[in-house]
Amino acid sequence: MDKRVRNPFGHLLVCPSKLNHLERCQELARCAGLLLAQTGPNQKTYTWLGDNILKALNNDQSLDETLGIRPPRGSRQTYANWKQQTQRNNLILRFANECGSDGKAEAVFHGKQPCPENLVGLYSQLKAFGRLPNSPGSVSRLRNLKSDTR
């Protein structure tokens, strides 16, 4: 590696994105070694991640394939979709809590009641996610679903 990218102790002085392809791969292998050297309660995760990074580098495979994080063909179950759905669900429950009940929140969602003034910002955030809950009891079902997964 070019000496200008590291200090005398071997630590990177630049963002890894500034490295060339080979240097990034070498840095990734170094990080995998650090993960494999970790101990503690998350050691199995560190070992799994370190082993799979090295496997991907050594076998010229893609990381998402090696780590098994690529969704099945045709599936929309990506981490990004899950995260967005979780954020939406949390906003819905927060809105219902701020309204005072699930029924009051559903009345706002169905257009039967106007949105309380203090919740207009939160309501706008919810609308930005797309469709609002529209079936009877949807907020309560969501609340039960969230409590089952804790």
Count CB atoms within 10 A of the CB of residue 142.
18
pLDDT of residue 148: 60
52's tokens: 């799979």
Are the C-beta atoms of 51 and 36 separated by less than 8 Å?
A: yes
Q: pLDDT > 70: what percent of the chain?
A: 95
Instruction: Taking residues 84-89, report their average pLDDT.
Output: 91
Q: What is the DSSP letter of 14?
A: S
Q: Where are the domains of the chain?
A: 3-67, 79-140
Question: With 50 as the cut, is the pLDDT of residue 1 above it?
Answer: no
Instruction: Taking residues 23-40, report their average pLDDT.
Output: 94
Question: With 60 as the cut, is the pLDDT of residue 140 above it?
Answer: yes
Least confident of 2-6, 39-43, 55-59, 94-98: 2-6
Report the chain's terminal Cα–Cα distance, integer Å.
47
